[in-house]
Structure 1
């Protein structure tokens, strides 16, 4: 017999984009109403968050917009980041460093090209128990048969090498999309974790090819890849956890001549998750996947018993767009994931 209500801790989103300026002010207040109590914030702003002072200033802005949400901050891996800055950031409570290969996604033009260049930084991170968050793709390279469909699988060699060279460094492969990625993370040690998004549990390549609001990086892959993501969640594996990679872009940037990469799941995280997990028989894993595994991996205390969300089995239709005014005073719209569709669950 199916349950009609679910009481769970507020979700921990261990990978989200909250942007800056007017867009930040539009999306950050949606966190708690969506059922999120912890947000692990990506640093790919313009300019990127590359030092401790910038991270703390950004955190203060976010806290003012979403009181009661726990924000965990990250730095952008680039030439400006030094071992000394890592020691400083760790003392200030910065949780991790995000690595973007150059040019593969939004605001990654300053991304890295060589991991060995940053080995002194990784050593300092290992010493300070900071987490290395990896965007797991290599840049497309037609001369070497690399494109968006195999860029993640080609990256996995780097993951294995980094784990080999820094076995005590906590590493998270972000937003995995492939069967190969799942199997590699499963095969590695306790210091390697992995986030899975909401949209990659539903989409395959046919769902984003020609459909700009489903286009993200990394792109959704084949049905067997989606099945691997679902399988590992159903198994209750403790090193896989929620990271929505919610990435808001105004409609005109998604529907323009070159679609911006990102799926906007931020407005309804827990209702999406309950609806999607139930669709493949994993509703019983919601608490582990979204409220416990990530905290355990990061060494964060479990949420207090007061931070509870109640989900009710009732039809809930997603708005077709969310309006805001941009930094130039223009009226803009954000299109949320599954816009206009009806979920089976809503937050009470």
Structure 2
């Protein structure tokens, strides 16, 4: 039986959320970018230590470029107390740095230096608004315990929904600041982004969240990520958002490699790694980025979640993979767009 995308030809994709790590891991995963049909990547800054200065970002880019000379690397800084309006202006002047990534403190990998209070960064956001840099939001609130009000506790399942008022508040205060709600996982996040009519607020969707639900990671550390995959109804909302004619969403795989022992919750080195702990958050999809999205869309059509005409509509796939992100993130049509 013919498959939906047999014979389809697409330009190279742009992936607007990737983790390429450092050291041996960086050397291993960076050359896999083009295997996933991607030639432009927006690089996350949560290294150890995090990328907080323009000089660090430019130096990191040079290392990545040496490993994958045919790839366009778009760099970002880590939102940190050391970031000031003057650093924002310096970052813009490099031409290599396109945004600043906000991690709520402690919610995911290498986020211990993340944001506790967004209000303290208002001068930075104002400078970003003036300079045209993008604010990339990891949209979750940190876990909380409230014995007196257990209904208000934050868990991995409601952390994204609890963050959404912060997104709206930031847009209201800085209406010209370009904001990306990254790796959306819920219908609530999709609805929030669509409810804000401004083109300055958009969202990314990962390849794995188009396929996974809560049952796929509960008990399987290889599918565990932050934010976690949610309910089937949430996955349906993401699939529909990917082909939505309002074009507010685009690809950001959040491909996040880890050593296998870290995904299995083991510490130490090979031969001495039997202690158990929490497994690392992250799903590595880089070599299969485009293919995984196609499979998810094809399955959605076969199950009646999407109509074939939704997926085949002119510009839908090219938009999700490159054009929408190119316009929203870097104000130009990136290669592959």
TM-score (norm 1): 0.85
In structure 1, the partner of 2:126 is 123
CA distance in 2, matches of 1:227, 1:69: 32
In structure 2, the partner of 1:340 is none
After TM superposition, give the deviation of residue 286 of structure 1 in Å: 2.2
- Structure 1 contact 273–286 (Cα < 8 Å) conserved: no
Deviations 1:27-65 (A, max 9, x none): 001111221111000000000000000000000000000
Higher strand share: 1
After TM superposition, give the deviation of residue 303 of structure 1 in Å: 4.6
- Structure 1 contact 100–112 (Cα < 8 Å) conserved: yes
- Give the 5 Å matches for 1:50-69: 50-69=52-71
After TM superposition, give the deviation of residue 300 of structure 1 in Å: 4.1
In structure 2, the partner of 1:286 is 317
Deviations 1:218-266 (A, max 9, x none): 0011111111111112323322000000000011110123110000001
Deviations 1:143-168 (A, max 9, x none): 13111000000000100000000000
Cα distance 1:165–1:12, how it changes in 2: closer, same or farther (>3 A)?
same
Q: Please give the secondary structure, in 1, of the residue aligned with 2:179.
A: strand
CA distance in 2, matches of 1:217, 1:298: 22
Cα distance 1:174–1:302, how it changes in 2: closer, same or farther (>3 A)?
same
In structure 2, the partner of 1:273 is 293
After TM superposition, give the deviation of residue 96 of structure 1 in Å: 0.2
Deviations 1:58-87 (A, max 9, x none): 000000001111110000001110100000
CA distance in 2, matches of 1:79, 1:228: 35
Higher mean Cα deviation, 229-238 or 21-30?
229-238
Deviations 1:172-193 (A, max 9, x none): 0000101111001001121001
Q: Please give the secondary structure, in 2, of the residue aligned with 1:7.
A: coil
Question: Does 2:180 correspond to 1:167?
Answer: no
Cα distance 1:63–1:214, how it changes in 2: closer, same or farther (>3 A)?
same
- Structure 1 contact 238–293 (Cα < 8 Å) conserved: yes
Unaligned runs of 5+ in 1: 309-348
- Structure 2 contact 210–293 (Cα < 8 Å) conserved: no
CA distance in 1, matches of 2:20, 2:246: 28
CA distance in 2, matches of 1:221, 1:109: 24
In structure 2, the partner of 1:151 is 159
After TM superposition, give the deviation of residue 279 of structure 1 in Å: 1.4
- Give the 5 Å matches for 1:212-227: 212-227=221-236
CA distance in 1, matches of 2:205, 2:246: 12
CA distance in 2, matches of 1:169, 1:226: 28
CA distance in 2, matches of 1:291, 1:141: 37
Unaligned runs of 5+ in 2: 147-151, 266-275, 302-309
In structure 1, the partner of 2:85 is 83
Question: Does 2:104 correspond to 1:101?
Answer: yes
- Structure 2 contact 99–133 (Cα < 8 Å) conserved: yes
Q: Please give the secondary structure, in 2, of the residue aligned with 1:6.
A: coil
After TM superposition, give the deviation of residue 271 of structure 1 in Å: 1.5
After TM superposition, give the deviation of residue 3 of structure 1 in Å: 4.6
Question: Does 2:21 correspond to 1:19?
Answer: yes
In structure 1, the partner of 2:332 is 301
TM-score (norm 2): 0.88
Deviations 1:85-109 (A, max 9, x none): 0000001021000000000000000
In structure 2, the partner of 1:332 is none
In structure 2, the partner of 1:178 is 186
Q: Please give the secondary structure, in 1, of the residue aligned with 2:104.
A: coil
Question: Does 2:205 correspond to 1:202?
Answer: no
- Structure 1 contact 18–27 (Cα < 8 Å) conserved: yes
- Structure 1 contact 101–108 (Cα < 8 Å) conserved: yes
Higher mean Cα deviation, 247-256 or 2-11?
2-11
